[in-house]
Amino acid sequence: MPVIVSTPGRVNLIGDHTDYTQGLVLPMILDVVTTITGDFTDDRVWHLVSDDEPLPVTLSLPIDDPARIEPRWGRYVAGVLHELEKTGVSLRGFSGRVSTTIPIGSGLSSSAALEIAVARVATIDRPMPETVLAQLCRRAEHVASGVPCGIMDQLCIAAGQPGHATLIDCRDLTIEHVSIPSAITVDVEFIAPRTLAGSEYADRVAETSAVERIIGPLRDASLESLTAIADETLRRRARHVISENQRVLDFVAALRRANWTEAGRLMTESHWSLRHDFETSNATMDAAVERTLRRPGVLGARMTGGGFGGCVVALRSVE
């Protein structure tokens, strides 16, 4: 019987660069999807063609080193299969096709969607809990892209529900589905292509580790602890993470009180924190946020995701 698995892209409403220090995030799944169709085979070979890539991927199991697979998009597939094999899952061969409506390189997590789709296909007979799947795919992403990402994208894609944002506590991986009321809508606009590989993303991960060596876990830190950080740059990095965790909580509370103005204000504040304190924005993204904020009904806007390009997400009143 042919297999069909679809996984969505995601956008982050608020809570960026908080996941890899066990903080809070509030992403939501989108209605763009990656789909894998195909059939299991009797050999131990995965063969995938992609509508968006010129070269197919052929992988013989077991996979030795996913980071050396060519073409490069095969590294995400290989990374997932490699991680599954490490957990003792016995894999069958598969031959199929990948297609996607998630714009690639736009910061809407096309790679995490591919990872979760591959994992879902490979475990179709014995599904795994979403948190296990997400952690495994996060490790695959590290190997495939070299980017030391957090858990947000994979877990949101694995567990998100339509019409809801996914409040994730990245410390214990608990999830709360927060309904998006019909009085507001979420707009996502692609601004500039970006890749996190080779960007300052890994530097930010290292900087937050350096901060934690001084003041302990950022998740437990308060703004008062900033005075213990002598280095001005590290102090700003810490201020972003500590204030962003609070903004996620405040944003959810504002949604629940139907205070859309406050929710929008928090989103815009998050952007300026990313701009000034975390320095993951740039002039193009700042200009796009300013432009979005001038549109009718827009309550707040920010760059979303890893940064250095990608998309702007905005909250708009539909009344």
Cis, bond preceding 181 (omega within 30 deg of 0): no
Report the site for ligand GLA in 112-151 (rule: CB under 6 A). Answer: 149-150
- Any contact of residue 16 with ligand GLA (CB under 6 A)? yes
- Any contact of residue 279 with ligand GLA (CB under 6 A)? no
- Any contact of residue 23 with ligand GLA (CB under 6 A)? no
Long-range (24+ apart) CB contacts under 8 A made by 263-267 are 263/184, 263/299, 263/300, 263/315, 264/298, 264/299, 264/300, 264/301, 264/315, 265/299, 265/300, 266/14, 266/300, 267/13, 267/14, 267/299, 267/300, 267/301, 267/302, 267/313, 267/314, 267/315
Which residue from 74, 94, 59, 71 is spatially nearest to 140, judged by alpha carbons?
74
Of the listed 16, 19, 153, 250, which one is catalytic?
Answer: 153
Reduce the DSSP state of residue 151 to 3 states and report it. coil
- Any contact of residue 9 with ligand GLA (CB under 6 A)? no
Main-chain phi, psi angles of 76, to 5 degrees: -70, -40
Alpha carbons 23 and 39: distance in angstroms, whole number: 39
Residues 6+ apart with CB under 8 A from 165: 13, 26, 27, 28, 177, 178, 180
Question: Cα 244 vs. chain centroid, distance in angstroms?
Answer: 16
Q: Establish whether 153 is a catalytic residue.
A: yes
- Any contact of residue 79 with ligand GLA (CB under 6 A)? no
Query: Using CB under 6 A, which of 7, 14, 17, 160 touches ligand GLA?
Result: 17
**Residue (16 or 130) nearer to ligand GLA, CB:** 16
Query: Using CB under 6 A, which of 19, 83, 277, 279 touches ligand GLA?
Result: 19
Instruction: Write down the least CB distance from residue 224 to ligand GLA, Å.
Output: 25
**Residue (205 or 214) nearer to ligand GLA, CB:** 205
- Any contact of residue 76 with ligand GLA (CB under 6 A)? no
Instruction: Write down the least CB distance from residue 216 to ligand GLA, Å.
Output: 20
Stretch that binds ligand GLA, among 15-23, 40-48, 59-67, 176-184 (CB under 6 A): 15-23
**Residue (5 or 152) nearer to ligand GLA, CB:** 152
Report the site for ligand GLA in 145-184 (rule: CB under 6 A). Answer: 149-150, 152-153
Total site size for ligand GLA, rule CB under 6 A: 11
Query: Using CB under 6 A, which of 73, 306, 313, 316 touches ligand GLA?
Result: 306
**Residue (59 or 218) nearer to ligand GLA, CB:** 218
Q: How far is CA 145 from CA 62, 66, 126, 128, in A?
A: 20, 10, 27, 24
Q: Provide the binding-site residues for ligand GLA, judged by CB under 6 A.
A: 12, 16-17, 19-20, 149-150, 152-153, 305-306
Residues recognised as catalytic? 153
